[in-house]
Amino acid sequence: MPIHPTAVIDNEAEIDSTATIGAYAVIDGKVRIGPETVVEPHAVVSGPTTIGARNKIGSFSSVGGPPQDMHYKGEPTELIIGDDNQIREYVSIHRGTVSGNGRTVIGNANMFMAYTHIAHDCTIGNHVIMANVATLAGHVQLEDHVSLGGLVAIHQFCRVGAYTYVGGLSGISLDVPPYVILTGTRNQMRIAGINKIGLRRHGMSRETISKLDHAFKIIFRTPQLLLKDALVKTLEEIPDCPEVRTLVEFFQSSKRGVVKRTTEA
């Protein structure tokens, strides 16, 4: 039976006929649930929330609840979730705030493991993995193919660049550039190098990885250069690589500051 008889469904909810709502689940308010999405027993989905196709929302998760923000006064903000996401048991995802353009946005094909938390106004790309108990404060941005280890905590307004891996127990208070491996907390954050294994797994060519490694050495391991000069030198020496340009532009667009400390070469 697509909708279990014990589920509580608000009259304002719109549920696709192919979606499944489990026992004792609660669908509260203006919620739209797309084709083949499964809401497991005892999950709570609150609106305004829009959920796409083929998502799986685990038992006891709380999706679309109001933001944990002292300034929130009940404004009609929203949560938008794409397709093919796995939202496991006890995950919490909150709607946006007025100061954050009113929405939290999650892309496609992500996995949020048990007890992960995504706060108000976050933007999550595609193919992101958050391991157990990883936590995002408000206004955090995770780009495509980011992986967060267990118990990672990320400060509000931080960005994590594409294809980056953040090791378990890390505490992030600055922007983390794309394509790297990072571990540590606050003033002990360290970047080990380019995420070569992860990039190969995602099909990036050896030539591109080699160019990123070269760029990394210029930016991170040339202490005699100021950052602005290192970025210029990087583009001069590697002018024909879109990924290197993405790395440089990440530094140039950062408002919070980017982690630059590294482990020993």
Question: Hey, which residues are catalytic here?
Answer: 120-121, 138
Q: 114: burial class by Cβ within 10 Å (0-12, 13-18, 19+)?
A: middle
CB 215 within 8 A of CB 197: no
DSSP labels for 34-74?
-TT-EE-TT-EEESSEEE-SS-EE-TT-EEEEPP--TT--S
CB 50 within 8 A of CB 69: no
- In angstroms, the CA 141 to CA 206 distance is 28
Element housing 219 (H / E): helix 206-220
All residues at 6 or more sequence positions from 141 whose CB lies less than 8 Å from its CB, including other chains? 122, 123, 124, 158, 159, 160
Q: Characterize the bridge pairing of strands 26-28 and 171-172.
A: unpaired
